[in-house]
């Protein structure tokens, strides 16, 4: 198992640790519900240094990104980012990712899921037939996500750049907590606001930044947050988790990601997605609330009133904000309309649920 530069901090704080994507990661500190509430109402710090980062450089960098991603990266200017995905050859998704435009038409950073770093690198490399300069900087890049309505206010005193007015899906570079060349973005995975900070781990920089954040937020009770609350927060917003809600067998159109699938350019599986858009998809990812007591978990079967199988659950939890059980899952398209009653098979019992609009919170 790999450690992040903050692993010792997590252990010293009494975090419940577990393996995730090959890393020793904090699952919770004070408890998922408490940490969830801290992010929704105040501010919390996530160590997400396990995520992968690739830098693509050169005259053909944009052309390569355009061919392997579904969104239109030509719309990006320096300092802007976008959400996208890497389609495979059969209409599925290799991974979902963020594309950061470091220098328009010349340099980009791709942020990918930790479990897919090697897979994504190989996929993009296979398509790199125009000598694009590629650098996998995952192992030397630290990433902290400071999320919550008070996050930017707490951090502003630590940097020389204006993060209070940082627009969604943009980023800046500057000095942060005395460390130079820190990239600060506002892309978020919680729906609660805040920023992410990327920096290279040189010397004592990781410790310096971590300690500075908690010193700056001490008066407002900023808290460390584990991956458990990260999952409940993203699910309340209806954000997909790779490996659960999207994977190599699901298309972005089935997953409600048609908005990141742009047909104004050529890219992998474009023809498949165009056909899906034209004739429709057989299944759709929907959000649902449990009408009866029970929590739907990943891979539970979804049935209709007669007990026929119509889909499967991809994510489910007891929502800390709503105090009700919510979930996401794929269902046959005719059952995807808002308000449709569906049934979740939980321990051989069919429990009623209802399709609802996302985000949940």
What number of other Cβ atoms are within 10 A of residue 335's Cβ? Answer: 18
CATH number of 7-48+139-236: 3.30.1360.120
- The whole-number pLDDT of residue 158 equals 98
Q: What is the DSSP track for 324-353?
A: EEEEEEEEEGGG-STT-EEEEEETTEEEEE
Burial 62-76 (b: 16+ CB within 10 A, else e): bebbbbbbbbbbbeb
pLDDT in tens, 279-309: 999 999 999 999 999 999 999 999 999 999 9
pLDDT in tens, 70-127: 999 999 999 999 999 999 999 999 999 999 999 999 999 999 999 999 999 999 999 9
- The whole-number pLDDT of residue 311 equals 98
- The whole-number pLDDT of residue 144 equals 98
Write out residues in the chain with pLDDT < 50, as ranges. Answer: none
Asked if 69 contacts 99 with a C-beta cutoff of 8 angstroms, the reply is yes
User: HSE (CB half, 13 Å, CA atoms) of 324?
Assistant: 13
Domain edges within the chain: 7-48+139-236, 282-356
Q: What is the DSSP track for 145-166?
A: EEESTTHHHHHGGGBSS--TTP
Name the burial class of residue 12, with classes exposed (0-12), middle (13-18) and buried (19+) by CB atoms within 10 angstroms of its CB: exposed
Residue count (the chain): 361
| Statement: 282-356 belongs to CATH 3.40.50.1820 | no
Q: Which two tokens stand for residue 59?
A: 């005259």
| Closest among 264, 340, 248 to 302, alpha carbons compared | 340
């Amino acid at each position: 198992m790999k450690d992040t530069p903050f692993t010792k901090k997590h252990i010293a704080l009494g975090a419940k640790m577990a393996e995730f994507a090959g890393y020793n990661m904090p699952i919770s500190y004070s408890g998922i519900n408490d940490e969830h509430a801290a992010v929704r109402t105040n501010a919390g710090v996530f160590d997400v240094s396990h995520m992968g980062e690739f830098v693509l450089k050169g005259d053909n960098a944009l052309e390569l990104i355009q061919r392997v991603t579904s969104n239109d990266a030509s719309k990006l200017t320096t300092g802007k980012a976008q959400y996208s995905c890497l389609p495979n050859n059969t209409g599925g998704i290799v991974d979902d990712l963020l594309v950061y435009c470091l220098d328009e038409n010349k340099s980009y950073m791709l942020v990918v899921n930790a479990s897919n770093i090697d897979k994504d690198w190989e996929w993009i490399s296979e398509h790199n037939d125009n000598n694009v300069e590629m650098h996998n900087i995952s192992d030397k890049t630290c990433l902290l996500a400071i999320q919550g309505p008070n996050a930017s206010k707490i951090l502003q005193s630590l940097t020389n750049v204006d993060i209070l007015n940082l627009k969604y899906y943009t980023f800046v570079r500057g000095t942060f907590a005395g460390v130079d060349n820190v990239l600060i973005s506002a892309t978020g995975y919680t729906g609660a606001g805040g920023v992410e900070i990327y920096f290279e781990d040189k010397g004592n920089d990781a410790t310096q930044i971590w300690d500075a954040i908690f010193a700056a937020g001490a008066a407002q009770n900023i808290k460390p947050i584990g991956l458990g609350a990260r999952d409940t927060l993203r699910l309340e917003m209806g954000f997909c988790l790779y490996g659960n809600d999207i994977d190599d067998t699901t298309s972005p159109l089935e997953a409600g990601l048609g908005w990141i699938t742009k047909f104004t350019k050529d890219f992998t599986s474009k023809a498949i997605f165009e056909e899906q858009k034209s004739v429709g998809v057989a299944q759709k990812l929907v959000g649902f609330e449990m009408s009866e007591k029970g929590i739907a978990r990943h891979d539970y079967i979804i049935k209709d009133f007669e007990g026929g199988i119509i889909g499967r659950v991809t994510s489910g939890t007891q929502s800390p904000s709503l105090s009700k059980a919510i979930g996401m899952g794929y269902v046959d398209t005719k059952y995807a309309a808002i308000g449709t009653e569906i049934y979740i098979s939980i321990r051989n019992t069919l429990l009623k649920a209802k399709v609802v609009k996302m985000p949940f919170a």
